[in-house]
Copies of this chain bind each other. A is one copy, B any other.
Amino acid sequence: MKIDVIISADDIKDEKIADKSVVIVDMLRATSVITTAMDNGCKAVIPVLTVEEALEIAGRDRKKYILGGERNALKIPEFDCSNSPLEYTREVVKDKILIMTTTNGTRAIKRSAAAKNMLIGALINGAKVADKLVNLRNDVTIVNSGTSGQFSMDDFICSGYIIKCILEKTEVELTDISKTALYVYEKNPDIVGFIQNASHYKRIQQLDLYDDLKYCCKKDIIKGVPEYLDGVIKLL
């Protein structure tokens, strides 16, 4: 099994993901939100690129849907929830369909349509993502959503953790970028501390999102691995 990493949504190329099992990682915070919502009984997540598209779908039957996501890390007017996983409690999401639009994560999902399988990964479900990848037996590309087209330290260390979990189960061939992600993870047991050096972190501080950060940096608190298929994310 070969493992590669793409460092931002802008760098996704079809030839790097075709016939691969792809994991979308946007640990701060879109893929942590999706994983949490599904774990709390949300029936499905529909990722969309624009606010207009989200409102249009929700308008068809407003009670059926939750609208979630962000622009510039802030809640979108008319939406129910921001991009904080802590808002997606069982009370809020159970039996609902989440329509979600974010700056980086949903873009990475949409741009990875050529993948053979597409899993939604974060630290909170990292080990289970690795298990599923091992079972699927395809080559793997971990797509870091990044931040505004840039590499993001948080997604990179999260990729390193998923790679480490895969390594414990099977033999793999790592590209240099995968080796470097693994290296960064192994050298930094204090993930919160590492991410505090990221550019992203300033924005987290400004918006007082330290609780989100702490939550998103917990490993393996969720067993479900959401999967994207034909426009919809579900627990398959």
Interface residue ranges, A against B (CB under 8 Å): 4, 7, 10-11, 13, 147, 150-153, 156, 175-177, 179-180, 183-184, 187, 197-200
Contacts and interface: CB of A to CB of B under 8 A. Distances in A.
A150 B180 CA distance: 13
A189 to B, nearest CB: 14
A203 to B, nearest CB: 12
Contact of A180 (B153, B175, B179): B153
Contact of A177 (B7, B13, B183): B7
A225 B147 CA distance: 33
Question: Per DSSP, are chain A's interface residues mostly helix, strand or loop, or mixed?
Answer: helix
Copies of this chain present: 2
Contacts of A151: 7, 175-177, 180
Contacts of A153: 176, 179-180
A129 B176 CA distance: 25
Nearest to A176: B153
Contact of A198 (B4, B10, B11, B176): B176
Contacts of A183: 184
Contacts of A150: 4, 175-177
A65 to B, nearest CB: 34
Contacts of A200: 176
Per CB-CB distance, the 4 closest pairs between chain A and chain B, nearest first, are A151-B177, A153-B176, A151-B176, A176-B199
Nearest to A174: B199
Contacts of A4: 150
Contacts of A156: 176, 180
Contacts of A179: 153, 197-199
